[in-house]
Amino acid sequence: MSSESAVKLYHFPVSGPSRGALLAARAIGVPVQIQIINLFQKEQLNQDFLKINPQHCVPTLEDDGFVLWESRAIACYLADKYGKDEDDTLYPKDLKQRAVVNQRLYFDASSLYVKIRAICFPILFLGETEIKEPLKKDLNSALEFLNGFLENSKWVAGHQLTIADTSIYASLSSILAVGWDISSFPNIQRWIKDCATIPGYAENEEGAKKFGEAVKKNLKK
């Protein structure tokens, strides 16, 4: 694929969902042309971007005129369209294996990421300066489940890396960069080390670090 025909990703490295889509693209190996939408400067509300995505969120994908947002939908689309046939592991075609990957993706979208956002959004944008106990417990309960998924499994949806790992790792790396204590989740600790082998890992860490710094800056010392 030439760089002119590369898929375009409207992206902000600080955003966990945006990093999730990019990490999936890197794992799949599809060339991506990145256009930064700086959310701290409200660039998502620029008219040009609103014409592409009236919901004004990143990540947003543009592929030969086809526009898609929602990070996990983007990961599924990229894996289906650009995944290599001989490497049917990132988003398996087998019905049951794919169903488990989908289950983990929905777990991230509806539980893990939501609980991370519930902690960080008020600190980043609403003047909150501490992490309240109920929110801590809520996130740790999701982490218990994640730790359980990894009990007898190298990756979150089985013995192969999938787009569930890229999505969940992008979410988790944000809160790890804030300094979350995961010492009581040994399977997660082991999996995090394996995630360092995912293509695009370093790029994800860079964005997560910026996210962590932005949150920590607003936390009461």
51-87: buried (b, 16+ CB within 10 Å) or exposed (e) per residue? ebbeebbbbbbbbeeeebbbbbebbbbbbeebbeeee
Beta carbon nearer to ligand GSH, 15 or 187: 15
Strand pairing category for 66-69 and 60-63? antiparallel
**Distance of closest approach, residue 17 Cβ to ligand GSH, in angstroms:** 3
Task: Let me know: does 171 contact 16? Beta carbons within 8 Å.
Answer: yes
Using CB atoms within 10 Å of the CB of residue 39, give its burial: 0 to 12 exposed, 13 to 18 middle, 19+ buried.
Answer: middle
Query: Of the ranges 55-63, 80-88, 157-165, 207-215, which one interacts with ligand GSH (CB under 6 A)?
Result: 55-63
Considering only 7, 30, 32, 44, the residue that binds ligand GSH (CB under 6 A) is 44
Q: Which structure tokens are listed for 164?
A: 């569930």
Give the binding-site size for ligand GSH (rule: CB under 6 A).
10
Considering only 27, 57, 139, 176, the residue that binds ligand GSH (CB under 6 A) is 57
Query: Of the ranges 24-32, 54-62, 130-138, 146-154, which one interacts with ligand GSH (CB under 6 A)?
Result: 54-62
Residue 29, phi-psi category: left (phi > 0), alpha (psi -120 to 50), beta (remainder): left
**Distance of closest approach, residue 109 Cβ to ligand GSH, in angstroms:** 6
What mask of x and - would describe binding to ligand GSH in positions 132 to 171, judged by CB under 6 A?
Answer: ----------------------------------------
**Distance of closest approach, residue 53 Cβ to ligand GSH, in angstroms:** 9
**Distance of closest approach, residue 100 Cβ to ligand GSH, in angstroms:** 20
- Helices 16-28 and 71-82: crossing angle, nearest 10°? 10
17 binds ligand GSH (CB under 6 A): yes
Selecting among 15, 167, 173, 174, the annotated active-site residue is 15
Q: Which of residues 23-42 bind ligand GSH (CB under 6 A)?
A: 39
Query: Of the ranges 51-59, 80-88, 138-146, 184-192, which one interacts with ligand GSH (CB under 6 A)?
Result: 51-59
- Does the annotation count 15 as an active-site position? yes
Q: Which of residues 63-102 bind ligand GSH (CB under 6 A)?
A: 70-71
Residue numbers annotated as active site: 15
